[in-house]
Chains A and B, each alone.
Chain A
Amino acid sequence: AQSVTQLDSQVPVFEEAPVELRCNYSSSVSVYLFWYVQYPNQGLQLLLKYLSGSTLVKGINGFEAEFNKSQTSFHLRKPSVHISDTAEYFCAGIGSNYKLTFGKGTLLTVNP
Chain B
Amino acid sequence: DAGITQSPRHKVTETGTPVTLRCHQTENHRYMYWYRQDPGHGLRLIHYSYGVKDTDKGEVSDGYSVSRSKTEDFLLTLESATSSQTSVYFCAINGGPRNTEAFFGQGTRLTVV
Contact = CB atoms under 8 A, between A and B. Distances in A.
Interface of A: 6, 9, 32, 34, 43-44, 46, 49, 51, 90, 92, 94, 97-105
Contact of A104 (B30, B41, B92, B101): B41
B45 to A, nearest CB: 6
B100 A90 contact: no
A43 B107 contact: yes
Contact of A46 (B40, B96, B102): B102
8 contacts: A9-B40, A32-B100, A43-B106, A46-B101, A100-B33, A100-B45, A104-B41, A104-B42
A22 to B, nearest CB: 14
A62 to B, nearest CB: 19
B42 A43 contact: no
Nearest to A103: B42
A49 B99 CA distance: 11
Contacts of A98: 30-31, 48, 50, 94, 96
Please tell me the size bucket of the interface on B: 20 to 34
A94 B100 contact: yes
Nearest to A43: B104
Contacts of B35: 102
Contacts of A100: 31, 33, 45, 48, 92, 94, 102
Given A43-B104, A46-B101, A49-B100, A99 B48 contact: yes
Contacts of A92: 102
A90 B43 contact: yes
A101 B56 contact: no
Given A97-B48, A100-B33, A101-B59, 6 more contacts: A43-B90, A46-B102, A98-B30, A99-B45, A100-B48, A102-B44
